[in-house]
Structure 1
Amino acid sequence: MSDLEPIAPTDALELYLTDRSSDLSDWTIRSHRSRLSTFIEWCRDSEGLENLNDLTGRTIHRYKIWRRDEGDINTVTLKTQIDTVRVFVKWLETIEGCPPDTAAKIKSPSLSPEENIRDTELHTDAAEEMLDHLTKYEYASLRHVTLSLLWHTLMRRGAARAIDLQDYDRDEQYIHIVHRPETETPLKNGQGGERMVALPNTMCDLLSDWIDDQRPDVTDDYGRSPLLATTQGRVHVTTIQQYVYMATRPCAYGVACPHDQDPDTCAAAVERYDASKCPSSVSPHAIRRGSITHWLRKDVPQPAISDRADVSATVLDAHYDERSEQEKMEQRRAFLDDI
């Protein structure tokens, strides 16, 4: 204990956020601040802890129990909260702010198989209303192109960001998705994720209008010409994520708020970086999941969807297919009745 340097909880939090700001996105930093502020306040108010040198695994266990019983949160959220605390404590050890191996004593809540698979998806009706609104009011804008590309191609946001102008073939109507890690646009599955993705006519018309009329004439830091570009260069993955949160709020595409909030005063409606706080907004992954489920419901063969989305059949079944067992049964019945 004598080797430790005294540090107040609030000071530790600010040092941590400053240190991590170089390797975490702004969005992640804000999330960590929110989660850890609750922990810091609890340490001060409930434990009277003024110096994190006195932090122990038992202290954090008491916090976990308090958060579970008093926070009105589910197990998935609790796990996220505790995992963030563990990352913070592990960092704290590196600056001699708490006893060594404290982080190793933190037990993250276990999730059941059902809890480990998030069931959030952007439903077809909401997706179509959102895209119709963008077509009418933001046609061929970067946000319109980005949201349309994610929905129609089933690709991950990292893959969408990686596309160059040369990867889009207007005549043959497809996009070639290429793994280029040496210039900072890797694909999740490496070269195994490379593929050609066919595009519908409407998507090609939109891309062509974006390229011809709206896209800034820029290159990235490697001299490549990104398809999804801002005036600063290649669009960032956090920008794509922010576009999705903003566009999927019901009030953003003309639907009455299902949460009885006034769009003129609701923070999630008026503040760009609070869009994710809307209970109805979704992440890019939810668009991918919703689109995959949409095409499964349209009886598109699973192998075709797996190849297009770059996801194995096993993972698709476990993490992306949101059809109920009854829906699957009725689709099989309709298929067999036609034979």
Structure 2
Amino acid sequence: MNSELAEALAEIDDPETVQKVVQSVKNPTAPDGESRSHADLPLLDELYERFLSRRRDRAPSTRVQYKRTIPDFIDFAEDNAIETTGGLSTDLVDRYVDSLQEQYDSDSTIITYTKNVRTWLRWLNKRGLCGEPVYRILDKDELGLTPEARDEALPAPEATKILDNLRKQRRGSLMHALLELAWNSGMRIGGLNSLDLRDFDPSNNEIRLRHRPKTGTRLKNGNEENGVGNGERNIELRDCVITALEEYIKGERPNVTDDYGREPLFATQHGRAAKSTLRRKIYAATSCRWTTAELEDQDCAGNCHPDTNVCPYSYYPHAIRRGAIVHHLSGGLRPDLASERFNVSIQTIKKHYDPRTKRKRKEDRSDAVRNAWSS
């Protein structure tokens, strides 16, 4: 309470009026004219349920992550006597991060929790229920966390060397065929998981991505209403990828179907290979066993086992996709065509993937303009 307000209150003789003024200062009025205390604010668990209902179009795996991580933060808040948005603060979030670091040794796990909680807090911020600093302190760079696998783009020279080694020593294996396809197509892990044998068309050097949510697989940007979407596309493949897939199908792929009677391209003895299985294969394919880098990392003994320990040299699947996009653009693929091939907006390509300098982009535009003049 400032001194001017105190002096004004001193001039009021009616104690009841003074009490009302003080109470209004403590509890500012809401837009509808009613005073709001913490008890009047929305409950965190109710807001979480509303958030989840607005995310029904997300992939099942994403919703599962939300259900696993966000309630953990709400439980932590309630353990600290905070049940409404009025108690959300940077101090609470900082203490939550401290609790995660006490529970988990893996930075990747902590990143998963904080990333999803940040998404929810940002959703609250858009509704005026949470301050921006509260979710900003969960930025990965702010937290100083480093996941076990690398999430930068896989460089083309390193990808070439790794694939050369796999062709010599693991030719036709699931690991080899998967990385060949991932590097050439730039598919997301969900796309790789969705493929059936019927989607592979070696006679036309292509593979087809189709959205099939009713039979267990989805594509990003697929449409729930009619089962199609702009995530569906036919992708041209290099001859070496065709060969790798044909050798894998002939040699290592088990003759199985999945729970819907479909014949998955990437399979195990139990049916369609899970996305977690495909991730482990990519970790293994890009590990120190096949990398061109010298083993200078003290955390790596050179004999990492992908089922129990992610090698410090390994890459996330998205890093393969990112590297593939950069590699295609560096080779001269136009951004508009890359947008169709990789199912990513031109704006995102220009912001995150285009390897050209600003001067090179200007020169390319100038060449295109001059060519237009001459036609």
- Structure 1 residue 274 corresponds to structure 2 residue 306: no
Question: Could you say which residue in structure 1 is the equivalent of 2:194?
Answer: 162
Question: Could you say which residue in structure 2 is the equivalent of 1:187?
Answer: 219
Residue aligned with 2:136, SS: coil
- Choose from 125, 130, 134 the match for 1:107: 134
The answer on whether the counterparts of 1:251 and 1:263 sit within 8 Å (CA) in structure 2 is no
- CA shift, 1:172, in A, is 1.4
- Structure 1 residue 245 corresponds to structure 2 residue 283: yes
Question: Could you say which residue in structure 1 is the equivalent of 2:324?
Answer: 291
- Structure 1 residue 308 corresponds to structure 2 residue 341: yes
Question: Could you say which residue in structure 2 is the equivalent of 1:10?
Answer: none
- CA shift, 1:196, in A, is 0.8
Change beyond 3 A, Cα 1:194–1:321: same
Residue aligned with 2:207, SS: strand
Question: Could you say which residue in structure 2 is the equivalent of 1:147?
Answer: 179
Distance 2:278 2:119 in 1: 26
Task: List runs of 5+ in structure 1 lacking aligned partners.
Answer: 1-22, 44-50, 68-75, 90-102
State the AA in 2 paired with 1:139.
R
**TM-score (norm. length: structure 2):** 0.60
Distance 1:78 1:232 in 2: 31
Residue aligned with 2:235, SS: strand
State the AA in 2 paired with 1:195.
R
**TM-score (norm. length: structure 1):** 0.66
Change beyond 3 A, Cα 1:84–1:181: closer
- CA shift, 1:85, in A, is 6.6
Q: How large is the RMSD of aligned CA atoms in angstroms?
A: 4.4
The answer on whether the counterparts of 2:153 and 2:323 sit within 8 Å (CA) in structure 1 is yes
- CA shift, 1:200, in A, is 1.3
The answer on whether the counterparts of 1:264 and 1:270 sit within 8 Å (CA) in structure 2 is no
The answer on whether the counterparts of 2:199 and 2:207 sit within 8 Å (CA) in structure 1 is yes
Percent pairwise identity: 31
Residue aligned with 2:309, SS: helix
- Choose from 193, 197, 207 the match for 2:245: 207
Change beyond 3 A, Cα 1:234–1:323: farther
Structure showing greater Rg: 2
- CA shift, 1:241, in A, is 1.6
- CA shift, 1:264, in A, is 5.0
Distance 2:296 2:368 in 1: 37
Change beyond 3 A, Cα 1:82–1:300: closer
Task: List runs of 5+ in structure 2 lacking aligned partners.
Answer: 1-59, 100-107, 122-128, 143-149, 223-227
